Amino acid sequence: LAKTTQPISMDSYEGQEVNITCSHNNIATNDYITWYQQFPSQGPRFIIQGYKTKVTNEVASLFIPADRKSSTLSLPRVSLSDTAVYYCLVVLSNSGYALNFGKGTSLLVT
Amino acid sequence: DSGVTQTPKHLITATGQRVTLRCSPRSGDLSVYWYQQSLDQGLQFLIQYYNGEERAKGNILERFSAQQFPDLHSELNLSSLELGDSALYFCASSVSYLALGVENTEAFFGQGTRLTVV
């Protein structure tokens, strides 16, 4: 399983764009990159998934450079309600293993 | 609302006791995943069931067991409880038999059961 590294915490102000970068240096050819969001005392919620280049949905964008050794989750114009923990997951595409989420990035928006 | 229902929401019990946590997956989802979240460990994968069969096993203790019934609901049984078992236990469901994070395997999490062992 690819190991991921992300900042423990980040602060932002309302209306700002927030970029959270995840490093996954040993990502395998078939690995996808997935981000989940978790609010306090709630279960995680799927945000976005990508394989390469850029993916955008109504919530966020995911930027993946050509070497795929990192990825950046971009949250446009954050609000107070975006305060949450954000998890980056990288899993072998054919793996039968569900993985541990790690500790994620705690984003505080004020 | 994710469509995944977990009961009970809160549980307080004494050391040495046994408890059962219940999870009803979203309609149509065949996979159920159990996760444990404690303050210092983050979200740890315990076990996955797919259509009644054990699919994958993670960091699940021998004192813990799970099963998935024909109606697809799942139960996580925790026995000989210790103080360190106090945590949030989440259940997630998916249509896929694959692991979370695999292509197109979006999982939906319940609100969790907060277990306090005293």
Which residue in B98, B99, B109 is closest to A44 by CB distance?
A: B109
Taking 70 as the pLDDT cut, the residues of chain A under it are 1-2, 92-99
Task: Give dist(CA B36, CA A27) in Å, integer.
Answer: 25
- pLDDT per position as a tens digit, B35-93: 999 877 778 889 999 999 998 888 799 999 999 999 999 999 999 999 999 999 999 99
B102 versus B26: the higher-pLDDT residue is: B26
Output the pLDDT for position B101: 66
Residues 41-100 (A) with a CB less than 8 A from some CB of B: 41-46, 49, 51, 87, 89-100
What percent of chain B is predicted at pLDDT more than 70? 95
